[in-house]
Every structure is written in C-alpha cells, then in structure tokens.
C-alpha cells in the first residue's frame, strides 16, 4: 500500500491505558493512529485532519459516547466508527449499531478482534475510494514549503481564487510574489483567459496610455499599426501589476480610472471599450508609508488592497530552506543529467543560519551555481560561497555563559600562582573577600 492509500485513524478514550492498547495493536499495518482523551480534543482533530476511521469509547469524560457518535455521523458522513465499551449491555450494542457504528467491541480489547474490525472497514474504505474520481495531488501551485508562513500564503491564495476582488501582494524581493499571483489566476475561474504581467517600472511615461489601452493605426507619429494594450489582452483574465510601488503618479492616475470605470479609451479612437480584468498588484515597498508621504495615491491603494497577501522573507521561515533547496537541486540536476547531490549536515546548517537577503531567488541561483561548480555526491561547507561559510563564526554553538568563563579563568589564575589567593586576587583585580565568595559559589555549584 502506498503512503497516500493509508488510512488515518482516531482513537477516542478517557483511559490512557486503552489508548495505548489500541496503538500497540495497530502499530503494524499502514495505519496512522491519532489519539484523543476527550470529546473536545477529538472534535479538534476531526476538524483539522482528514480522519477515515474512529474507534470511540462509549464513556468519554466530557460527552456521552453515543451522542458523540451521532455528531460524527452528522458532521462527517464518510467516517466509519467502531465503538468500544467495558462490559457493554445488549442495549448499548443495539444503540451503537443503530447510531451507525460498524460494531461495538467489549473491553479489554482482543487484538485480533480489533484488527479484524479495522481491516473490514479498511476494505470498505478502499472500495469506496476506488469509486471516487481520481483526486488530483494536493494543489500547491508550484509553491514549495512546509512552514506555517507558506501554508498561510497558500490558504490566502485559495480564498483569493474563489472571489473576484483585487489583490495586493507584498513582501521582500525574491520571496515568490509573482508565483503567488500566477497561482491565484490559474486557480480562479479566469484561468482560461490570459495572465498578463506588467512591470510598472518599465513603462515610459509617454507610452503609458498606449501600452495599457492600446492604440489605433496612425494615433501618433510612429503608430504604424494598431496595437492592443495590456487591458485588452487581459480581458476576461488577470493583469499582474508588478512593482506597483514604483508606478509614476501619472500611471497611478490612469490605473485608478480603469479600476473605477472598468472601461478604456483606445488611443486615437473615439470609442470607449468595456473591459473585465482582475488586478493583482505586487510590491516590495511599504505602500501605506508611501501613501503617508504623498508618493502613492490613497484612493488607488484602497482599490488594490482588497485582499492582502504578505509573503514572508525566507529568513523568517527557515523550515522551507531544505525542501526548497532540494527542489531546485533536483530540477537543475535533471536538466544537467546528473544525480542530485545532498548537503552535509554542516553545510545545511550554514544555509539555515544565513539571512538570505535575496530570498528564494538567491537560493535558486545558489542551487544552480553549486551544481555547476561541484561534481561530488555531497555538498560540503567548503563548496558554499564565503558569505555563507562565515556564518558559523557567529553561530551560538559552543559559546559559554559569563559565569562558566569566569569560573574557568579564576581556576586557571589560581593554578598559575599555586593556589595563593592574595596573589590571584591581585592578578584578577578583585579583593580577597570577593575572590573567596566567588570560590565558595563555585565549589558549592559543583
């Protein structure tokens, strides 16, 4: 059985001994067993992870087991339940089965009985899964990462994809803002139309209108043909306004007008055209501060900042470094048709301590450079750029407390003067009484 075929099981019992018995009994097999010792805890687990099967005791501390069975049946109709009870009455058994449980097992549990019941249900679940349409792998839109920071970003992408509101993505350079914008577009119902990236720094002021809204032939000197603007190209789709913080006030004004009127004037034409484009903007700048200083239009800011997504810098999510670097190494190694090297523990530590001013882009570039410059199976500290190697010197590893250093120094001085405290105190620059006290504390400490 492959990992994704395994079943997640939750055992709910007020008695720790029973939970341990269940875990021990099911430890073999492809089963992931979570435990909860109260109904409240079980509810939390059910809500946050996909459980397939619950082993539920009829007597849990905070809620009646049969009521809890009913709750599961109502809230999670795909979950199968096995109930357990110490000396169950016939009435209990009847109610459990009527309530939708597969069966009711008497405690102490007999391992073979429990296993048989679980296996029967696992068979039922496998059949049910086979009937389901092939579910796609968990969607992460090419966004690699396991940190809470990236999970939060993914959650916000999901939400943004279901609505049509404008989005403002902010975060340092190289954190993945464009990747986030693309993910939103391709997850939204605009996916069939175009995603059009526009770099706001790259539009010359004189060409803004023509670039955004297009022009007709002969609209101005040099307009030999008519040309579509970004807003026409992205009609029905998404415009990605990159580096919006660098947009000139002129450009800001033009953008605001389209956002307000949802229509464009094609340069040189007297027609007004309706457009339906969603705006996703991104910046590494502090827009609210720019608004304060009058460098960014407040009305435009509020039009853009309907959904706000912050992509945290890599140094704030060091858990993502290993999955990311493995992903990039693997990708480049495949391109270069060589095996993917691994990092030595020491080298990995260096990567995790490094501040990554260039964020994921810097990590991506490093991965490529490492593959070009090394040919072994292992990447060691010595293969890393100087700036990353030096980190170890500032690492806290092996650094001692002041008290430890002081104690060692006092003992060294004392040894040098054959235990002569007057002499030692003089060298140490303290009086004899202070030295005596320090020594007393030292010897009593161990």
Ligand X SMILES: Nc1ncnc2c1ncn2[C@@H]1O[C@H](COP(=O)(O)OP(=O)(O)OP(=O)(O)O)[C@@H](O)[C@H]1O
Interface with ligand X by CB under 6 A: which residues?
142-145, 150, 171, 173-179, 284, 324, 360-361, 364
Q: At closest approach, how far in Å is the CB of 244 from ligand X?
A: 11
| In contact, 263 and 274? CB cutoff 8 Å | yes
The CA distance from 183 to 75, in Å, is 31
By three-state DSSP, how is residue 155 classified? helix
Radius of gyration of the chain from its Cα atoms, rounded to whole angstroms: 33
Give me the residues that bind Mg ion (CB under 5 A), please: 178
Shortest Å, Cβ 144 to ligand X: 4
Binding partner of residue 80 among ligand X, Mg ion, none, CB under 5 to 8 Å per kind?
A: none
Q: Is 331 helix (H, G, I), strand (E, B) or coil?
A: helix
In angstroms, give the least distance from the CB of 152 to ligand X: 12
Q: Which of 61, 27, 68 is nearest to 46 (CA)?
A: 68
Looking at the Cβ atoms of 255 and 360, the one nearer to ligand X is: 360
Residue closer to ligand X (CB basis): 99 or 149: 149
Q: Give the residue nearest to Mg ion (CB).
A: 178
CB of 47 to ligand X, least distance (A): 27
For residue 134 the two structure tokens come to 């092939």
Nearer to Mg ion, 307 or 333 (CB): 307
Per-residue tokens: 139: 């969607």
Contact 155, 48 (CB under 8 A): no
- CB of 178: closest distance to Mg ion in angstroms? 4
Rank residues 95 and 175 by Cβ distance to Mg ion and give the closer one: 175
Of residues 348 and 430, the one with the C-beta less far from ligand X: 348
> Which CB, 115 or 322, lies closer to ligand X?
322
Given Mg ion, ligand X, none, residue 73, with its beta carbon under 5 to 8 Å by kind, binds: none
Beta 195-199 vs 238-242: how paired, if at all? parallel
Report what 214 binds from Mg ion, ligand X, none; CB cut-off 5-8 Å by kind. Answer: none
Q: Smallest distance from the beta carbon of 174 to ligand X, in angstroms? A: 5
Question: What's the DSSP call for residue 174?
Answer: T
Q: Which does 369 bind (CB under 5 to 8 A by kind): Mg ion, ligand X, none?
A: none
Structure tokens, 288: 């609210």
Question: Both tokens of residue 433?
Answer: 């009484």
**List of residues 6+ apart from 23 with CB closer than 8 A:** 11, 33, 35
């Amino acid at each position: 059985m492959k990992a994704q075929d395994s079943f997640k099981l939750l055992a709910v019992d007020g008695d720790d001994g029973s939970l341990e018995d269940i875990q021990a009994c099911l430890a073999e097999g492809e089963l992931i067993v979570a435990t909860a010792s109260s109904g409240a805890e079980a509810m939390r687990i059910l809500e946050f992870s996909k459980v397939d099967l619950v082993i539920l005791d009829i007597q849990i501390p905070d809620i009646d087991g049969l009521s809890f069975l009913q709750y599961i049946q109502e809230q999670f109709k795909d979950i199968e339940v096995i109930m357990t009870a110490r000396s169950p009455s016939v009435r209990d058994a009847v109610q459990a089965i009527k309530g939708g449980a597969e069966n009711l097992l008497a405690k102490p549990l007999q391992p073979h009985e429990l296993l048989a019941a679980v296996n029967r249900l696992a068979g039922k679940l496998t059949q049910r899964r086979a009937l389901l349409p092939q579910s796609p792998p968990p969607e992460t839109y090419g966004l690699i990462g396991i940190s809470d920071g990236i999970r939060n970003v993914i959650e916000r992408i999901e939400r943004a994809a279901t609505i049509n509101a404008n989005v403002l993505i902010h975060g340092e350079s190289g954190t993945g803002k464009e990747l986030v914008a693309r993910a939103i577009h391709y997850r939204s119902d605009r996916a069939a139309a175009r995603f059009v990236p526009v770099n706001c720094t790259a539009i010359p002021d004189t060409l803004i209108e023509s670039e955004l809204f297009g022009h007709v032939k002969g609209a101005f000197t040099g307009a030999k043909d008519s040309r579509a603007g970004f807003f026409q190209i992205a009609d029905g789709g998404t415009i990605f306004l990159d580096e919006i913080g660098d947009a000139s006030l002129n450009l800001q004004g033009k953008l605001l007008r389209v956002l307000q009127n949802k229509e464009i004037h094609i340069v040189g034409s007297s027609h007004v055209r309706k457009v339906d484009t969603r705006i996703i903007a991104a910046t590494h700048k502090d827009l609210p501060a720019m608004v304060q200083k009058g460098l960014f239009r407040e009305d435009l800011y509020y039009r853009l900042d309907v959904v706000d997504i912050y992509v945290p810098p890599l140094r704030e999510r060091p858990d993502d470094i290993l999955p990311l670097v493995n992903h990039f190494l693997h990708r480049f190694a495949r391109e270069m048709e060589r095996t993917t090297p691994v990092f030595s523990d020491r080298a990995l530590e260096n990567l995790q301590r490094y501040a990554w001013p260039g964020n994921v882009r810097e990590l991506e570039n490093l991965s490529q450079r490492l593959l070009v410059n090394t040919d072994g199976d292992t990447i060691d500290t010595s293969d890393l750029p100087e700036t990353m190697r030096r980190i170890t010197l500032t690492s806290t590893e092996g650094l001692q407390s002041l008290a430890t250093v002081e104690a060692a120094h006092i003992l060294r001085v004392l040894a040098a003067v054959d235990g002569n405290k007057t002499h030692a105190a003089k060298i140490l620059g303290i009086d004899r009484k202070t030295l005596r006290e320090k020594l007393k504390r030292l010897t009593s400490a161990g």
